[in-house]
Structure 1
Amino acid sequence: MFADAGDNVIGQHLSTRDHLGYAITDASDPLSAEAIADLQASEQCVWVRTW
């Protein structure tokens, strides 16, 4: 998803808490609006935070 939008992932942290699995993803630059919209539209995505 990130590569298709032209974004470069430089690191990820994967973990679980109770019944929820999550990923924290570091990108080299701010994510494109396309990548954020794709994440938010995904059935598997519960929440997106960027800064």
Structure 2
Amino acid sequence: MLGILFLYSLLYGLLSAEDYALLMGSLLVFVVLSLIMMLTRQVNWYRGKAEEE
């Protein structure tokens, strides 16, 4: 519930700041992509291929 409230307030702030919407949206995408990359850096993406050979 808290995550949805945070996301809603973030999107509301993004839409209400018309002059900085592109900058804020780009920063948001950068942060989300960085978090995904940090969370998945230990995943061995080729594990399934090595077992087949």
* Higher helix proportion: 2
* Higher strand proportion: 1
Query: TM-score, length-normalised on structure 1?
Result: 0.32
Larger Rg: 2
Query: TM-score, length-normalised on structure 2?
Result: 0.31
- Higher relative contact order, chain-length normalized (CA < 8 Å, sep 6+): 1
